[in-house]
Amino acid sequence: MPKVSFDGAKSGLNYAFGILIPSLFPFIFLSNFAVEYGISHKLGTIFARFTEKVLYLPSEAGVTVLLSFIGGFPVGAVGINALYKQGKISERQAQRMLCFCVNSGPAFLISVVGTELYDSELVGITLFFAQVLSSLLIGIILGIQAHSKEPLQRSVSSASSKKEFAPSFILSAKNACRSTVDLCALVILFSSFMYIFLHALKINDYSAAGMIIRSILEVTDGCSCLSNSHVPLYYTALAIGWSGICVHFQIFAAVDNLIIKKIPFYISRFANGILSAVVTFIAMVFIPADISVFSNFSKSQYTFSSSTLKGSAALFISSILFLIFVNTYVKSCINSAEQTADKTL
């Protein structure tokens, strides 16, 4: 099925260049830089009381938790990986954070899902706060359970060591580039496989089976499909809370230094979806004036097209930035290989 595979890969590329790179790369960089340069330790004092008392985590984890809510997939996982590599958190704490620091950011929920798909910022804001409340509730419950089972293991690395700005900046950019490339590859592959799978089974995009499969596999495609169907908004909230297997693989790729316990992770994703749907359902009850919006009869569909001036400019700029990031990453790999070879000789 070459044409179907091509169409799927093209759709994945549109999403990668249109949304993923421009919206996620800066936040992935910030998440890395906050740890590498020590910002997470300095700002950790602001969130220390809440992070330690409520979430039962080291104070330095507070910035990563915050970035996981505002940065989008998989910024939280990137920050968790950086904290774990530097010994700021233990393996148990990292596993626990992965259960509630996997969230879609406001840029995607409000701008794309709310404004583009539902033609309503209120819908995006509702979905965003439903997700935040659900994730915080899961984090609090897991913190209470951890409080009775284990002591609060604090950072084992030196927090007072001074770090240079330039090396931290460059290293964070390289790490962000690597993470972004990994994510784009997964999105393209999943999009191509999903098109082949649906075509092979002859499943209609807007049938119940089509919506379920798309929502389970890829959250963006699932939201687009649900927004064009006559289903209540809490189904979209459920899909966003679950976040899609493609996002799950992105999380696994981002946390390359940690073996993830899959059963607690998937239970937390399902619980997040259910809680997000419940919160959204409650919001629909208490906002009767906007019931027509929440009933989801929007016919808009998100597309990233290079046929328009704005789309062409965005695609061109994203492509240039992407090539710069790849070039930087390749050069760093070559330099690293040359240094390793010199040491061996």
3-state SS of 266-309?
HHHHHHHHHHHHHHHHHHHHHCHHHHHHHCCCCCCCCCCCCCCH
Establish if 345 belongs to a structural domain.
no
Residue 306 has pLDDT above 50, yes or no: no
How much is the pTM? 0.73
On whether the CB atoms of residues 87 and 71 are closer than 8 A, the answer is no
Domain of residue 22, residue span: 2-338
Question: Apex CA 68: angle with CA 124 and CA 262, to 5°?
Answer: 105
pLDDT digits (tens, 9 = 90+) for 114-140: 887 888 888 999 999 999 999 999 999
Please, which pLDDT band fits residue 174 given cuts at 50, 70 and 90? confident
In a domain, 343, yes or no: no
Q: Is 156 domain-assigned?
A: yes
In a domain, 43, yes or no: yes
pLDDT digits (tens, 9 = 90+) for 8-26: 899 888 888 877 787 778 8
User: Can you tell me the distance from the alpha carbon of 42 to that of 60, in angstroms, rounded to the nearest whole number?
Assistant: 8
pLDDT at res. 222:
87
Does residue 74 surpass a pLDDT of 70? Answer: yes
What angle is formed at CA 216 by the lines to CA 245 and CA 282, rounded to 5 degrees?
115
- Residue 9 inside a domain? The answer is yes
In a domain, 155, yes or no: yes
Q: Is residue 263 part of a domain?
A: yes
pLDDT digits (tens, 9 = 90+) for 320-342: 555 555 555 556 666 666 666 66
For the chain, the domain total comes to: 1
For the chain, what percent of residues have pLDDT higher than 70?
78
Cβ density class 14-37: b for 16+ within 10 Å, e for less: bbbbbbbbebbbebbbbbbbbbbb
In a domain, 250, yes or no: yes
Q: Measured between alpha carbons, how far is 331 from 31 in angstroms, rounded to an integer?
A: 23
Q: Residue 160: pLDDT above 90?
A: no
Give the number of other CB atoms < 10 A from CB of residue 47: 21
